[in-house]
Chain A
Amino acid sequence: MNLRPDPTFHATPKLAMQAPAETLAFTLMLSPDASQPDGLAVVDVDPASKSYGRIVHQLLMPHKGDEFHHFGWNACSSSLSPLSGHAFLERRYLIVPGIRSSRIYVIDVKEPLKAKIHKIIEPEEVFARTGYSRPHTIHCGPEGIYVSTLGGGGPEGTDGPPGIFIMDCESFEILGRYEMDRGQQEKHYDFWWNLPRDYMVNSEWGLPPQFENGLVPEDLLSNKYGHRIHFWNLRQRRNVQTLDLGANHQMALEIRPAHDPAKDHGFVGVVVDTTNLQGAIFTWRRKADGEFEAVKTIAIDPQPADPADLPELLKGFGAVPPLVTDIDLSLDDRFLYVSCWGTGEMRQYDVSDPMKPKLTGTVEIGGIVKRKAHPNGKAFGYGPQMVEVSRDGRRVYWTNSLYSTWDDQFYPGDRGGAMVMAHAGADGGLTLAEDFWVEFPKGYRSHQIRLEGGDCSTDSFCYPSV
């Protein structure tokens, strides 16, 4: 227990932007064939350091086959609300779930270069206490640590719908399911919230049989993946509204609410529109009467391609879909970053007017057909995927793997994990940093990035920036 709040807790997004820049990043490494244990890489991102852009510490797990994907902190800036009563927690532990194994690791990174495993929660405990499986997104919130899951019970994860469970933020004990009334929610993926306004939003990917062994083309073409978002009364744990984005908008993934809690809008990315292969962003917002609405505000076109250049899955279409697999919003809620994993683009949109996004920057790297190399000459292997933005909004980091079995369908063969960074201009514009390229150990792919002291997809704020 600290005597003062953790210096990385900030009352407002604006204060967080003024905090010192990150010097380290934590990136998940996964072994796609489970031949090696998954791990956590500590990456030096301090340009003044000799080991800039290199992995300076690796922590490998004692088990294999976990498939690391997303992860999060035990505590964030939301602790600064008296309502949650956790003001003196330390931002010290990374909660890392294995989405294939359902095992959860709690990693102590108080001394990042000596990162160590603090606790392991075995899959059996997750199943027994929650009836859920395949833990995914982590957020620290009012009642502790919230963990979304992709699967229900049973070996296939189809015994009952997936949902969220809560862990104690000090003992890391699993307390139980979150939902009291889930309404129509029967698939899950990402979730986030507006804490003072007391609502949560969650999205839908697909059920485990739809993703664990690869994308199921028949399910996609018959629009069987998730296409709805659900709004919840956060503290009553009740689904209050379900919005259907349209069945053709397959796989509604990342939820990014405005960080400033005085704003009542947010974004959600849609991987693919099955009518035209476009990728899409919807802006959702709460109207004056308290109801929510969602409007498509960005559509990204597929690129025509010679079937000979396409993997089996896409040959019939003669085009590469953008595949919007991740999005991230800067802390000032001004720039939205959109990963187009298929075409190999990282796009930057000015969303000052959230209903009218303007494209302000694009970096091309990788891509199924274009295969654009990094300025340093190295091949990026896949496309831009998990994206993380620095607190000050000036550096944008991303990695290249989506999910082991899906990587293999869209980008056959083993192409190596990578992490790159681009500089963002104060008023827009995105340029790849030529001197930043993180090489991962052989056989490993790279997934989500967390920045030391918090980043744009971890911290929730309880006070407006004004």
Chain B
Amino acid sequence: METGGAATGLWGAVVASGVYHGVNPGMGWPLAVSAALMERRPGALWRAIGALAAGHLAAMAAILAPFAALLVLVERQREIRIGAACLVIGLGLWLVANRRHPRFLARVAPARLALWSFLAATAHGAGLMLVPIYLGLCQVSQNDAGHAAASTLMAGDAGVALAVATAHTLAMTLAGGALAVGVHRWLGLRFLSKGWFNLDLVWALSLVLVGSVSLAAAL
């Protein structure tokens, strides 16, 4: 019962972070509106959202995969979790201190939305934010599995990684897509300058928070 509750909470965090990334204009939904308007076809909106989603998914997977592989070291789970938590806290603190935007993102051609989405998510630590949540989920599933063979565990962890990345990206895509359609059809682009908040600091602090919660749990 207790592990079930923990798992639900963690999956909730996966989806919530997806929605959070999705509605943030900085993660790209305005580019989908722009594409639909530039090409004068609503279909272009979905193609752009698809490209943004693909880039985001790749960014999540690229961060989660090494941790999935590390989890083979069942005996070192605690150290891995502490290390990951410190990494996330560290990135959060660095983003608090350094509020400049990565300039290389501006070199990406506007047509290469998937690449841009991948780089933007990576540069802002969107994938890293999921790592502590993912590690928590793996622990829950391993507790349930008891003493299964290492190979089974590894396959299970990789599966969880894929599920986390997919669920997160799906939530992100639905939230961003809904907002893009809403702005394109009804709200109009005025919403962009009215509804865009500077979440830089909140974002950095949420990395610190996620990392700290995970660190406390591991210790």
| B-binding residues in A (CB < 8 A) | 1-5, 7, 9-12, 15, 80-88, 142-144, 168, 170, 195-198, 235-236, 261-262, 462-464, 466
Contact A466 B40, beta carbon cutoff 8 Å: yes
Would A81 and B30 be within 8 Å (CB), given that A144-B103, A195-B110, A235-B109 are in contact? yes
A3 contact from B101, B189, B197, Cβ within 8 A:
B197
| A-binding residues in B (CB < 8 A) | 25-28, 30-31, 33-34, 37-38, 40, 99-103, 105-111, 116, 120, 189-190, 192-194, 196-198, 200
User: B190 CB to closest chain A CB, in angstroms?
Assistant: 6
User: A263 CB to closest chain B CB, in angstroms?
Assistant: 10
Contact B25 A87, beta carbon cutoff 8 Å: yes
Cβ–Cβ < 8 Å partners of A197 in chain B? 110
Contact A85 B26, beta carbon cutoff 8 Å: yes
B30 contact from A15, A82, A195, A262, Cβ within 8 A:
A82
Among A11, A15, A88, A142: residue with most chain B CB under 10 A: A11
Contact A235 B190, beta carbon cutoff 8 Å: no
Would A3 and B33 be within 8 Å (CB), given that A82-B26, A466-B40 are in contact? no
Contact A236 B198, beta carbon cutoff 8 Å: no
- B contact face: mostly helix, strand, loop, or mixed: helix
Cβ–Cβ < 8 Å partners of B200 in chain A? 1, 88
B190 contact from A3, A11, A195, Cβ within 8 A:
A11
Contact A1 B31, beta carbon cutoff 8 Å: no
Bound CA–CA A195/B192 (angstroms): 18
Bound CA–CA A7/B193 (angstroms): 7
Q: What is the chain B residue whose CB lies nearest that of A144?
A: B103
Contact B198 A84, beta carbon cutoff 8 Å: no
Bound CA–CA A236/B108 (angstroms): 9
B198 contact from A3, A81, A198, Cβ within 8 A:
A3
11 more CB-based (< 8 A) A-B contacts, given A82-B31, A168-B103: A4-B193, A4-B196, A4-B198, A11-B30, A84-B106, A85-B26, A87-B25, A88-B200, A142-B106, A262-B37, A463-B33
Contact A143 B110, beta carbon cutoff 8 Å: no
User: A152 CB to closest chain B CB, in angstroms?
Assistant: 25
Among A12, A83, A142, A170: residue with most chain B CB under 10 A: A83
Cβ–Cβ < 8 Å partners of B30 in chain A? 11, 80-82, 463
Among B27, B101, B120, B189: residue with most chain A CB under 10 A: B189
Cβ–Cβ < 8 Å partners of A9 in chain B? 193
Cβ–Cβ < 8 Å partners of B40 in chain A? 262, 466
Contact B198 A83, beta carbon cutoff 8 Å: no
B106 contact from A2, A5, A83, A170, Cβ within 8 A:
A83
Bound CA–CA A3/B200 (angstroms): 9
Bound CA–CA A170/B38 (angstroms): 30
Bound CA–CA A198/B38 (angstroms): 13
Cβ–Cβ < 8 Å partners of A261 in chain B? 38
Cβ–Cβ < 8 Å partners of B190 in chain A? 11, 15
Q: What is the chain A residue whose CB lies nearest that of B194?
A: A4
9 A/B residue pairs, CB under 8 Å, sorted by A: A11-B190, A80-B192, A81-B30, A82-B27, A85-B106, A87-B196, A262-B40, A463-B33, A463-B34
User: B198 CB to closest chain A CB, in angstroms?
Assistant: 5
